[in-house]
Amino acid sequence: MISQFIRKFKPSYELYNLFKRSELEHNIEKYKKYGIHKKYYSSVSSNDFIGLESPLNIHDKFNTRDTLPKEPSFQNLSKQRQEELLPWSDRGYIILKRFFSPDRVQQINDEVRRLDQSNKARWVGNKMMFAIHYSDIMLKASADPELMRIINLIMGKKMDLFQSINFLTGSEQRTHSDSYHMSTFPYGNIIAAWIALEKTTDQNGPLHYYEGSHKLPYLVNRDFGNAGTNLFLGKKQYSDYEDKIEDVLAEHNFERKILLAEPGDVLLWHSNLLHGGEPHHDKSLTRKSLVTHYYAEDAICYHEVSQRPTLKRPLDFPQ
Ligand SMILES: O=C(O)CCC(=O)C(=O)O
């Protein structure tokens, strides 16, 4: 009861944030730019952006099929990669087949085992969180230069690696969008990569996603009565958000896709693409994957779900 109160009481985490200036100051300049009167430690949510115009990223405004062929960095890609990138604006995702070589996949899987066995891994439930902060191999894979070039190209701007999550089993997560968890203003300024570290089948909890759903309006707390007040977060549960997403999907006719991936395949998805994890039926199987998220350098970064600004720890790139 008391912990519930503290979790929902905004000043309690504002106090915590007060001591985290170095990880929160990234928003200060952007608050100024958008005329948001906030301290670095303040609670922040979509309610702070009501009435502000949220400029669209280039490939939410113009179609990648028209714009990309004019880009020199697109011309430098193989024909196969070019074909893979073109549907981004239409679908809200792209699949880069066999992007990581079998050796690279093996190296990442060996590293996950090593981290786990040496107790270095930081597990939150079935997720190994932020291994990029304690593993050079995971950092190099997540910030792979070729992957970064493609990400910057389809986002039309410079993107920065923010987090990594390793899975050994399917997440079985209900359908959601990343923009509710890792939010930005202007909207649409994060992107995710889902890297297959082994084959996924209908037995080991593959990813599902709804093609074209990235074009829906961004769903925020006030859309399901969860805006809260100046002092408190809203009273709804996370499952109320998931129920709302189901209602939204029921009103549309998006095609539900299942990713049956080969090791080394990479799926990039738009921050507003609805996706989740299928049931992991055969528990004797693993489903190894690495999910990485990248924030745009020029956007306010926060978490609509908790109304907190994003804590960004610098990454220690090996020389
Ligand atoms: O890997 C999965 O099953 C889902 C991952 C996911 O939904 C996410 O990281 O946002």
Q: Is 316 exposed, middle or buried (0-12, 13-18, 19+ CB in 10 A)?
A: exposed
Considering the domain boundaries, does residue 318 fall inside one? no
pLDDT band at 316 (very low <50, low <70, confident <90, very high): confident
The answer, yes or no, to whether any atom of ligand 1 lies below 6 A from the CB of 104, is no
> In a 3-state reduction of DSSP, which class is residue 63?
coil
The answer, yes or no, to whether any atom of ligand 1 lies below 6 A from the CB of 167, is yes
The answer, yes or no, to whether any atom of ligand 1 lies below 6 A from the CB of 171, is yes
Considering the domain boundaries, does residue 315 fall inside one? no
Considering the domain boundaries, does residue 184 fall inside one? yes
The sign of the torsion formed by the CA atoms of 48, 43, 175, 155 equals: positive
Mutate-to-test residue for ligand 1 from 162, 175, 181, 194, highest number of ligand atoms within 8 A of CB: 194
Q: What is the pLDDT of residues 141-160, one digit of tens each?
A: 999 999 999 999 999 999 99
HSE-up (13 A, CA, CB side) for residue 172 = 12
**Amino acid 221: pLDDT:** 98
Considering the domain boundaries, does residue 317 fall inside one? no
Query: What value does the mean pLDDT of the chain take?
Result: 96
The Cα 217–Cα 298 span in angstroms is 21
Ligand 1 centroid to 34 CA: how many Å?
31
Considering the domain boundaries, does residue 316 fall inside one? no
Domain containing 179: what range? 2-309
Q: How many CB atoms are closer than 10 A to CB 96?
A: 20
DSSP symbols for 65-129: HHHGGG-HHHHTS-HHHHHHHTTHHHHSEEEETT-S-HHHHHHHHHHHHHHHHTT---EETTEEE
Considering the domain boundaries, does residue 276 fall inside one? yes
pTM for this prediction: 0.96
Over 80: is that where the pLDDT of 66 sits? yes
- Split into its structural domains, the chain has a count of 1
**Amino acid at position 316, single letter:** D
The answer, yes or no, to whether any atom of ligand 1 lies below 6 A from the CB of 248, is no
Considering the domain boundaries, does residue 86 fall inside one? yes
CATH value at residue 171: 2.60.120.620
- CA 160 to mean position of chain CA atoms: 12
**Amino acid 1: pLDDT:** 66
The answer, yes or no, to whether any atom of ligand 1 lies below 6 A from the CB of 289, is yes
Ligand 1, residue 165: give the atom nearest the CA.
Answer: 9
HSE-up (13 A, CA, CB side) for residue 192 = 26
Considering the domain boundaries, does residue 125 fall inside one? yes
